Chains A and B, each alone.
Chain A
Amino acid sequence: MSSPVIDIVDLHKTYASGVRRKKVEALKGVNLQVPPGEVLGILGPNGAGKTTLLKILLGIVHPTSGEARLFGQPAGDPAARRRLGYLPENHRFPTYLTARQTLDVYGRLAGLASDYRGEQIPRLLEEVGLASWEDTRVGKFSKGMMQRLGLAQALMNRPEVVVLDEPTDGVDPVGRRDIRDRLRSLKRAGTTVVINSHLLSEIELVCDRVLILNRGSIIQSGTVDELARQGTGWRVEVTQLPDGFDASAFHAEIEESGRSLIVEDGKPESLNALIDALRSQDTLILSVERHRASLEAGFIDLITAEEGGS
């Protein structure tokens, strides 16, 4: 196996805030390895430590203890950032710059040569759909256009690792699809992508692996299927349910339509008991199928269980 491009070992971060320097543990011993070419999604409720984790990786925040390495170099090393692209959450470009000037300035800051910038800027503006806005001041851009420009900025140096914090925030559905397509093409090109997003459907559609952070710790990590499967059950469709039918006796829940049930524990025994009960009351069963909960449902279940257990 090739060495990970991102290697985080026992990472801790404690913030001290206020006059009394009240301590808040943002990260509590996070371990993470990301191999080259993987698209990793980071999920978690607000304040889970997602942005802190990304910022440590980029050298924007200093860890309290532990180690974060990028391409084998310490995360704060500027040389490591040469091969990285970053789109921060709520990024702000100077409003007086045009789209082209913005990419030029940030391209310079990335250490890119003039000729290279000259080639990349029109191509990227075209790719993110801002070619006709290249000489418009950024101050006039909508939130969605700013996100597209931010993405173009993150890709200026053809990075090997792209870190995106809420990339589709404020973007309309068409724009979101475009960004998704762009992420897929990055994946095809072998680029490692780390996405922090509240839009679980986005993560579900793009990511190879998902990591769930809560209260500074990784509580779950796996593929989208693995995480969603934790909520896998059976869906039974009927013509009409008998009056007063008690679904809970079979670990099942009646859906809103009143004509289907979900056997939540996923056990064949529960399913068969339910079918027997329905048939004994002459209920006509139309279909029985595997029901996979969405990533969102899996995520909510995990976080709820975590909160309940703590």
Chain B
Amino acid sequence: MTTLSGSLLLTFRELWAMRLTQAMLAVATLAWLLLSFALNMDVVEGSLAAVRIFGLESTPSDGVYNEETGEWVSQALSLDKFMIGINTFVFGAAYFLGTLLGLFATMPLINGFLEHGRVDLLLSKPLSRPRLLLGHLAGVWITVFLLSAYLVGGVWLSLSVKTGVWMPRVLMAIPIITVMFAVMYSVILTIAIATRSSGLGLVITYGLIFFSIMLASHEQLVPVLSSTAAAIFMTFYHVLPNFIEVVTVQAQLVEGEAVTTWYPLISSLIFGAVLHGIGFFWFSRRDF
């Protein structure tokens, strides 16, 4: 157990030494401090009548004309919708920006891990290669989990205390961000193990993320493609991670709706599991 903790500790320290990790923590802190202290809400009969940020008041936009009474009625925003809106924004920022920046930030981490003079010293220690790699991966996963929990959890807690509306389902964003980060990280790691180039791994991972934008519109694209092209496209859809479509799953979870399909998340998880398997296999077999 001590050997694994050494591998974990090394990864934590390395991540903490990176400026970007510290910057992410600072941004998350700023986000929930802003919501805690700078945001004031006027709640009237369970609806949001006005929002003040740093003392600047913003009332809900134009009123609605009531034909029966012939009066303009102020359009109040329900607190639930406000909570969902803020949390969706935070999730989106953490999911997209956090993942893209996080993957970029971890590139030197992988380089360092596989560097000559570092990896051979690590491999000379009395722990198996899978255990060593697991320690590295677990360190990354735990850090991403803690960072997203700090941001999403902090924002959720701050808003819930302010509004009195507690929607624990928004916390589902934390495991989703962590899991999807792990899926995308497996691409960089596996390619870096095979080629010793984490840069190539990062380019391919970003490519997969952008390609998943196309995969997400498969319902619109497939009907206009030839049967062969459609078959190829759908093969990609089933095999590659559906990074963008997972956002729909999260949105439905936050809004409290029944999730239409878990498939994008499940297929992405399978992709990640297979890539991790390949990564572990190569790491165990190759010479350093």
Give the chain B neighbours of A112 by CB distance below 8 A.
Answer: 2
The CA-CA distance from A78 to B112 in the complex, in Å, is 22
Fill in one digit per residue for A83-109: 1 if any B CB lies within 8 Å of its CB, else 0: 010101111111011000100011111
CB distance from A53 to the nearest CB of B (A): 13
**Counting CB contacts under 8 A, is A247 at the interface?**
no
Residues A113 and B2 in contact in the complex (CB < 8 Å), given A60-B120, A81-B125, A88-B124 = yes
The smallest C-beta distance from A151 to any residue of chain B, in angstroms, reads 12
**Assuming A105-B10, A111-B2, is B288 touching A78 (CB within 8 A)?**
no
Are B117 and A109 touching (Cβ within 8 A)? Answer: no
Q: Is the CB of B9 within 8 A of A108?
A: yes
Could you tell me if A96 and B288 are in contact, using CB atoms closer than 8 angstroms? no
- The distance in angstroms between the C-alpha atoms of A110 and B125, with both chains bound, is 5
| Selected contact of B10 from candidates A58, A60, A88, A109, CB within 8 Å | A109
Contact among B127, B128, B288 for A111, CB-based, below 8 A:
B127
**Do B115 and A94 touch (CB < 8 A)?**
no
Distance in Å: Cβ of B244 to nearest Cβ of chain A: 35
Instruction: Report A-chain residues with C-beta under 8 Å of the C-beta of B117.
Output: 88-92
Q: Given A61-B288, A91-B121, A96-B13, A105 and B115 touching (CB < 8 A)? A: no
Q: Which residues of A contact B127 (CB under 8 A)?
A: 78, 109, 111
- CB-based contact A92/B2 at 8 Å: no
Contact A81 B126 (CB under 8 A): yes
Of the candidates A60, A90, A101, A110, the one whose C-beta lies within 8 Å of that of B123 is: A60
Q: With A86-B124, A106-B121, A108-B2 in contact, is A94–B10 under 8 Å at CB?
A: yes
B132 nearest CB neighbor, chain A only: A109
- Shortest Cβ gap from A116 to chain B (Å): 10
* CB pair A109 B287 closer than 8 Å: no
Establish whether residues A79 and B126, one from each chain, have CB atoms under 8 Å apart when the complex forms: yes
* A59 CB → nearest B CB, Å: 7
Q: Is A82 an interface residue (CB 8 A)?
A: yes
Asked if A60 meets B124 with Cβ closer than 8 Å, knowing A96-B17, A112-B2, the reply is: yes
Q: Which residues of A contact B120 (CB under 8 A)?
A: 55, 58, 60, 88, 91
Q: Are A82 and B6 in contact (CB under 8 A)?
A: no
A224 and B153 CA atoms in complex are apart in Å by 68
Q: A62: CB under 8 A from chain B? A: yes
Contact across chains for B126 and A82 when beta carbons are under 8 A apart? yes
**In the complex, A59 Cα to B112 Cα: how many Å?**
20
Q: How far is the CA of A89 from the CA of B121 in the complex (A)?
A: 10
**Is there a chain B Cβ closer than 8 Å to A245's Cβ?**
no
Task: Summarize A's interface: helix, strand, loop or mixed.
Answer: loop
How far, in angstroms, from A82 to B125 measured CA to CA in the complex?
7
**B17 nearest CB across to chain A (Å):** 4
Query: C-beta contact mask, A203-244 vs B, less than 8 Å → 1, else 0?
Result: 000000000000000000000000000000000000000000
Docked pose: A211 CA to B80 CA in angstroms: 77
Contact A86 B2 (CB under 8 A): no
Q: How many residues of A contact B (CB 8 A)?
A: 35
Contact B126–A60 (Cβ < 8 Å): no
What is the CA–CA distance of A17 and B127 in the complex, to the nearest angstrom? 28
Cβ-defined contact, B122 with A109, below 8 A: yes
The answer for the CA separation of A61 and B9 in the assembled complex, in Å, is 25
In the bound complex, residues from chain B placing their C-beta under 8 Å from that of A86 are 121, 124
Instruction: Give Cα A108–Cα B116 distance, bound, in whole angstroms.
Output: 21
Task: Across the interface, name the chain A residue whose C-beta is closest to B119.
Answer: A60
B5 at interface, CB cutoff 8 A: yes
With both beta carbons as reference points, the residue of chain A lying nearest to B125 in the complex is identified as: A109
- CB contacts under 8 Å to A, within B1-27, are 2-3, 5-7, 9-10, 13-14, 17
Q: Is the CB of A58 within 8 A of B124?
A: yes
Bound state CA distance, A80 and B127, in angstroms?
A: 10
Residues of chain A lying within 8 A (CB to CB) of residue B7:
109
Most buried by B among A78, A89, A91: A78
**In the complex, which residue of chain B has the Cβ closest to the Cβ of A97?**
B13
Interface members, chain B 111-142 (any A CB < 8 Å): 112, 115-118, 120-128, 131
Chain A positions 100-158 with a Cβ under 8 Å from a chain B Cβ:
101, 105-113, 153
Question: Inside 8 A of B122's CB, which chain A residues have their CB?
Answer: 109
Q: Is the Cβ of B288 less than 8 Å from the Cβ of A60?
A: yes
Asked whether A108 and B13 contact (CB < 8 A) given A61-B288, A86-B121, A92-B115, the answer is no
Chain A residue numbers with a CB within 8 Å of B128 are: 78
**Chain A residues with Cβ under 8 A from B3's Cβ?**
108-111
Chain B residues, CB < 8 A from A58: 120, 123-124
Per the bound structure, the CA–CA distance linking A49 and B131 in Å amounts to 29
A101 with B13: CB separation less than 8 A: yes
Contacts of B112 in A (CB 8 A): 94
Please state if B116 and A90 are interface contacts (CB–CB under 8 Å): yes
B89-125 contacts to A (CB < 8 Å): 112, 115-118, 120-125
Question: Looking across the interface, which residue of chain A has its beta carbon closest to that of B288?
Answer: A60
Most buried by B among A91, A108, A110, A113: A108
* A-B pairs with lowest CB-CB distance, top 4: A108-B6, A109-B6, A96-B17, A86-B124
**Which residues does A use to contact B, with CB under 8 Å?**
15, 55, 58-62, 78-82, 84, 86, 88-94, 96-97, 101, 105-113, 153, 163
List residues of chain B with CB under 8 Å of any chain A CB. Answer: 2-3, 5-7, 9-10, 13-14, 17, 112, 115-118, 120-128, 131, 285, 287-288
Known: A60-B120, A153-B121. 20 other contacts (CB 8 A): A15-B287, A55-B287, A58-B123, A60-B124, A60-B288, A62-B285, A88-B121, A88-B124, A91-B117, A91-B121, A92-B115, A93-B118, A94-B10, A94-B14, A96-B14, A96-B17, A105-B13, A106-B125, A110-B3, A110-B125
